[in-house]
């Protein structure tokens, strides 16, 4: 009965208090934003046969799981700035891991949490929400935006201080972006992400009587792959398989396509050590999942579940040797697609269902503003997902646009429910077309197939509309020196 009454209460609050009230109404919904770092859609609720994610699955049963959700740039800082400002990377002009949007490109932008703070909400950030480098910036603000929060916290746990214990699986020694593993001793709560969950829970306890926007940012499964030993046990090495691809497939890839963070042979590891790294990646997913479970348990214990919107998302996807790639910064499905789950009590009529519609992380800002009855900035570039929360299969005609940088040029992609089309350097360095229904692993590039010429023409028109001539990434998203830094993913 409580769930049924909440929707009209939220609507009444919006009418009585207007778009930006001086103080938030007690009837306004809370928001718990849960982000993870570098997590692809290898989760139980997304159909993965091996990965154990019971708590994320539990959230999916409460909300709507978006099966075709995409980031706008598969790299931490550009992606996070995009969905937290509701603006595309060409608008924010954030294409690398160093740019602070507030100090350089958009000093006056109102971020998503800032909108809620201006509406009288208590806002707090724990852990990694805006970008910081992992592991070097753990325990610091990194590129966090002070204007977005009433309070912010930077936990630092054993994983930060025990890096000398890491097992390095590859010749490359940069532990922030290579294959390093640790089956850690101690409790969950001693790890940085465990401490993040603990602090977020205490904030919910302290502010249970007033509408809050609390963001809990977990940085697992980002490497180095560290989790307590127990999370490795469900993944015996003999159950870990590596992707199989058609003979000669890697030779067919465009040079720009292979220019993602770590091309084959993934830092020089052997097939056996690659399997060990993949096992550790899955263990860190399960560890992050356990921390999500602690947050959900706290909401239940505090009787806040029926008046708290919960969002779970990853900043981008992650390759695990598909197409000979590891990590991110490609425009393939594994890198661009993200898990996205939204549970909004009283508004999620399609709870427990999957939406097949093509959506973007960019859509999160107008969605949360709408659910809370707040008036968002007029310049947002996404669309509210509220119709899909009510009916996950509702008509939806928006494609998803994803971009990525190379040294001195960009790649642009448009994804519809059936097709993905990619242009590198405005097509001068190649194009790609994949039929996602017939070829979900994106093995067969149809861009030069005469039978698909009309499809290419239609999708190219969408690319041109979203990235018109003269847009920043079409001109080159910065100097060659600046873009070289993009490859040094934290």
Distance from C-alpha of 55 to C-alpha of 61, rounded to nearest angstrom: 10
Kindly report the backbone phi and psi dihedral angles of residue 13, in degrees, each rounded to the nearest multiple of 5, phi listed first.
-60, -45
Helix (H, G, I), strand (E, B) or coil at 421: strand
In the structure encoding, which two tokens stand for residue 336, read together? 């661009």
Q: Report yes or no on 306 lying in a domain.
A: yes
List the CATH number of the domain containing 256: 3.40.720.10
Strands 212-221 and 30-37: parallel
Structural domain containing residue 296: 2-390
Distance separating the N- and C-terminal Cα atoms of the chain: 47
Indicate the range of 14-28, 71-85, 234-248, 327-341 predicted with least confidence: 14-28
d(CA 331, CA 421): 10
Total tally of structural domains belonging to the chain = 1
Instruction: Report if residue 261 sits inside a domain.
Output: yes
Percent of the chain with pLDDT over 90: 78
pLDDT tens, position by position, 65-81: 999 999 999 999 999 99
Q: Where is average pLDDT lowest: 156-170, 203-217, 289-303?
A: 156-170
**What pLDDT is stored for residue 169 in this prediction?**
85
| 437 located within any domain | no
Catalytic residue among 45, 71, 76, 223: 76
Does 135 sit behind a cis peptide bond, omega within 30 degrees of 0 on the bond before it? yes
Q: What does the DSSP 8-state code read for residue 121?
A: -
Of 27-41, 358-372, 435-449, 470-484, which gets the smallest average pLDDT? 470-484
Looking at the domain assignment, is residue 264 inside a domain? Answer: yes
Tokens at 38, concatenated: 């570098």
Mean pLDDT throughout 4-10?
36
Q: CA torsion, points 324, 328, 329, 334, in degrees to nearest 10?
A: 70
Query: So what's the pLDDT on residue 105?
Result: 86
Tell me whether residue 412 is one of the annotated catalytic residues.
no
DSSP 272-290: HHHHHHHHHHHHHHHHHHH
> How far apart are alpha carbons 79 and 221 in whole angstroms?
17
Domain annotation covers residue 461: no
54 vs 292: CA distance, rounded Å: 10
48 is catalytic: no
401 inside domain: no
Band (pLDDT 50/70/90 cuts) for residue 20 is very low
Residue 165 token pair: 């214990």
Residue tagged active-site, from 131, 207, 316, 412: 131
| pLDDT in the model for residue 10 | 42
Mean pLDDT of the 288-301 span: 99
102 within domain boundaries: yes
Domain membership of residue 324 (yes or no) is yes
- Cβ atoms of 348 and 71 closer than 8 Å: no
């Amino acid at each position: 009965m409580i769930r049924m009454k909440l929707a009209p209460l939220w609507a009444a609050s919006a009418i009585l208090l207007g778009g930006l009230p001086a103080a938030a109404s007690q009837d306004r919904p809370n928001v718990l934003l849960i982000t993870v770092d570098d997590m692809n859609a290898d989760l139980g609720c997304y159909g993965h046969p091996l990965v154990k994610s019971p708590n994320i699955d539990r959230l999916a049963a409460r909300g709507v799981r978006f099966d075709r959700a995409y980031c706008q740039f598969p790299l931490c800082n550009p992606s996070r700035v995009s969905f937290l400002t509701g603006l595309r990377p060409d608008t924010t002009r954030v294409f690398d891991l160093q740019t602070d949007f507030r100090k350089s490109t958009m000093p006056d932008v109102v971020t998503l949490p800032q909108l809620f703070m201006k509406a009288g909400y208590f806002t707090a950030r724990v852990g990694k929400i805006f970008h910081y480098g992992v592991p070097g910036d753990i325990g610091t603000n990194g590129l966090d935006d002070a204007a977005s929060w009433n309070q912010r916290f930077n936990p630092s746990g054993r994983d930060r201080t025990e890096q000398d214990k890491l097992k390095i699986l590859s010749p490359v020694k940069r532990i922030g972006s290579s294959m390093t593993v640790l089956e850690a001793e101690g409790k969950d709560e001693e790890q940085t992400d465990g401490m993040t969950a603990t602090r977020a829970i205490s904030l919910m306890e302290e502010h249970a009587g007033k509408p809050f926007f609390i963001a809990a940012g977990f940085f697992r499964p980002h490497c180095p792959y560290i989790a307590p030993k127990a999370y490795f046990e469900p993944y015996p090495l003999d159950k870990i398989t590596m992707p199989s691809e058609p003979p000669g497939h890697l030779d067919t890839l465009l040079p720009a396509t292979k220019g993602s963070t770590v091309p084959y042979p993934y830092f020089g590891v052997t097939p056996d050590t690659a399997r060990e790294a993949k096992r550790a990646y899955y263990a860190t997913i399960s560890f992050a999942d356990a921390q999500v479970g602690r947050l959900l348990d706290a909401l239940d214990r505090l009787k806040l579940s029926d008046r708290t919107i919960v969002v779970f998302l990853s900043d981008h996807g992650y390759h695990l040797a598909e197409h000979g790639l590891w990590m991110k910064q490609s425009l393939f499905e594994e890198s661009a697609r993200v898990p996205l789950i939204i549970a909004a009590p009283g508004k999620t009529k399609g709870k427990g269902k999957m939406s097949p519609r093509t959506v973007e992380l960019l859509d999160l800002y107008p969605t949360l503003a709408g659910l809370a009855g707040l008036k968002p900035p007029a310049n947002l570039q996404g669309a509210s997902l509220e119709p899909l929360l009510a009916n996950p299969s509702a008509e939806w005609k928006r494609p998803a646009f994803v971009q990525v940088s190379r040294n001195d040029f960009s790649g642009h992609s448009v994804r519809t429910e059936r097709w993905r089309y990619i242009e590198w350097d405005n097509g001068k360095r190649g194009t790609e077309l994949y039929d996602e229904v017939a070829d979900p692993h994106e093995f067969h590039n149809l861009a030069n197939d005469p039978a698909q010429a009309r499809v290419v023409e239609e999708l190219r028109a969408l690319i041109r509309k979203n990235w018109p001539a003269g847009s920043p990434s079409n001109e080159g998203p910065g100097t060659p020196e600046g873009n070289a830094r993009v490859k040094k993913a934290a």
